[in-house]
Amino acid sequence: MRIVRTVADVRAAVRDARSRGASIGLVPTMGALHDGHLSLVRAARAANGLVVMSLFVNPTQFGPNEDLAAYPRDEERDARLAEDAGVDVLFAPPVAEVYPQGFATSIHVAGLTDVLDGASRGAGHFDGVATVVTKLFQMVAPDDAYFGQKDAQQVLVIRRLVRDLDMPVTVVACPTVREPDGLAMSSRNVYLDPESRERATALNRALDAAEREVAEGRTDAAAVLAAASAVLGAAGIEPEYLELRSPDDLREVARVAGPTLLAVAARVGPARLIDNRILEAAP
């Protein structure tokens, strides 16, 4: 595996691979790799001749009171895991390579970004994500790009961006990878102390409870959300949001009729965690 730090070097590696007929798979990450990221690498590896992973803690997607400074960084560990999982090129640029002096452009995807995490973290969060992902796509020019379904809203925003800007990239969303007790894997799980780690399982259990409610035929939003809320409440968790929305355009829905996104965000001890599930009414 090669580690490159400049746009020129990542482009040269991609050009070389393309000249040999290889397709390019990109796995964008902020590092602090876990099995969720590695599942994206495996999917990219299975479908592409060259796998590029970007490792960049993107400052523009963090709000002023968020954890940019504390975000876990360990490039040596990440490089080892990336190489073992089959990454060919690790693109780990410094901030100035991505945002040089005078950088003045921001990408805003309207509509999808003012609810859920957009409302709770501020619209600037998704502007930061959309801007850096656009830049990564420009730098690497991948055929396929891989993202985790845990960040369901992020996947929708990126799909819309790719469609609206006619980017020749296929966005591949891979299933959420979970710990044995159901907690969705996240780089932020390292913030959890043992007591918060235990309570954090309530997010997945709340999604399970909502799913059971729907399976038993109680499909109206009030009943589904009450079932999930009760589980969170029992664990002493007050969600930042717990909402049922259309999985295509994030419109709020009053009932689980077709596939419906149930999304939750909550602060558990020192960590802000998100999770989601697609609920489907029994036929």
Chain residues in the site for ligand PAF (CB under 6 A) = 28-30, 58, 61, 129, 132-133, 151, 154
Strand locations in the chain (E): 2-4, 24-29, 50-55, 89-91, 144-148, 170-174, 239-245, 260-268, 271-279
Cβ-based nearer residue to ligand PAF, 31 or 247 = 31
Cβ-based nearer residue to ligand PAF, 63 or 258 = 63
Cβ-based nearer residue to ligand PAF, 132 or 214 = 132
Minimum distance from CB of 158 to ligand PAF (Å)? 8
Interatomic CA distance for residues 24 and 137, integer angstroms: 11
Minimum distance from CB of 30 to ligand PAF (Å)? 4
Strand locations in 11-126 (E): 24-29, 50-55, 89-91
Minimum distance from CB of 140 to ligand PAF (Å)? 12
Of the residues 34, 37, 108, 125, only one is catalytic, namely 37
37 is catalytic: yes
> Widest CA span of the chain, in angstroms?
58
Cβ-based nearer residue to ligand PAF, 176 or 260 = 176
Interatomic CA distance for residues 29 and 167, integer angstroms: 20
In 3-state terms, what secondary structure has residue 218? coil
Pairing between β-strand 2-4 and β-strand 24-29 as defined by DSSP bridges:
unpaired
Interatomic CA distance for residues 36 and 262, integer angstroms: 20
Minimum distance from CB of 231 to ligand PAF (Å)? 26
> Residue 280 class from Cβ within 10 Å (0-12 exposed, 13-18 middle, 19+ buried)?
middle
Question: Which residue numbers are catalytic?
Answer: 37
